[in-house]
Amino acid sequence: MKLLVLLLIFTFYIHAEPIKTLHISAWPSNTEIFLNSVQPDISKNPDFTTPAKIHVPLSQEYISLTFFQPYFKDSTIQVKIPEFQDSYLMVILDKESDPEEIHYQERQLKKRKQRTIGKGMMFGSILPFGIAGFTLLKNHLENREAEKIEEKLNEHKIFSEKTNSLKQDFKKHQDKSENYQTATYWLSSVGLALLGIGFYLQF
């Protein structure tokens, strides 16, 4: 087993492409970085946030970086990365004074926030759907038990203490089945609502 693990690690090392690292700092801090996009969609999350370390293949010469910070002018630059060594880059952004551009940034950031909430809602829909699956299974099992008791009741035409007990059991399983069915319906509705609203907020 140890030999197999070592062999896999060695194979990965042999086939892994050598890399070099671009170290990026910026003012103001926590500036967002979008890779290889002249006009990035700032309503989406960035690829990196400063300070950042970007690993690139050793053979790559250039990388395009767009820097964004709310209320600052975004900047796109193409960086030449020296071969066989790490690089360091410091970027200083200028304040944005154009009211239209600031308004555009605010709209896009609001949209990003909506998308984040939407993703959370879509992820949150897993819980009600999961519980709905469980209640659906319980509904099926209670139905089967009720059907088995119904078959026994059909075999006993004459009323007796046993048939009375069977009727009570039948009613109990039937009530449970209906309760699980109702729970399944409401939980599925909640899950679909979360999923639908979350999906809507992505656009």
Model pLDDT for residues 112-131, shown as the tens digit of each residue? 999 999 999 999 999 999 99
| 92 in the same domain as 21 | yes
Please write the tens of the pLDDT for every residue from 8-21: 444 444 445 678 89
How does 141-168 read in b/e, with b if 16+ C-beta sit within 10 Å? ebbebbeebeeeeeeeeeeeeeeeebee
Please state whether the predicted TM-score (pTM) of the whole model is above 0.95.
no
The answer to whether residue 190 scores a pLDDT higher than 90 is: yes
Q: What CATH number did the domain enclosing 43 receive?
A: 2.60.40.10
- pLDDT, residue 16, reads 55
Please write the tens of the pLDDT for every residue from 66-84: 999 999 999 999 998 887 7
Confidence of residue 165 (pLDDT cuts 50, 70, 90): confident
How many residues does this entry show for the chain?
A: 203
Rg (CA), the chain: 31
Strand-pairing partners, residue 77, are: 65
- pLDDT, residue 139, reads 93
Say if 106 falls within a structural domain.
Answer: no
| 131 in the same domain as 92 | no
Domain enclosing residue 152, as ranges = 122-200
- The total number of structural domains in the chain stands at 2
Phi, psi of 15 (to 5 degrees): -90, -15
Question: Residue with structure tokens 């300070």?
Answer: 51
The dihedral sign for the CA sequence 162, 163, 166, 168: negative
The answer to whether residue 45 scores a pLDDT higher than 70 is: yes
Say if 105 falls within a structural domain.
Answer: no
CB-CB contact of 25 with 90 (8 Å)? yes
| 92 in the same domain as 25 | yes
- With pLDDT > 90 as the criterion, what percentage of the chain qualifies? 59
| 144 in the same domain as 196 | yes
Mean pLDDT across the chain, nearest whole number?
86
Helices (H), the chain: 2-15, 99-124, 126-155, 161-200
- With pLDDT > 70 as the criterion, what percentage of the chain qualifies? 88
Say if 102 falls within a structural domain.
Answer: no
Say if 62 falls within a structural domain.
Answer: yes
| 140 in the same domain as 66 | no
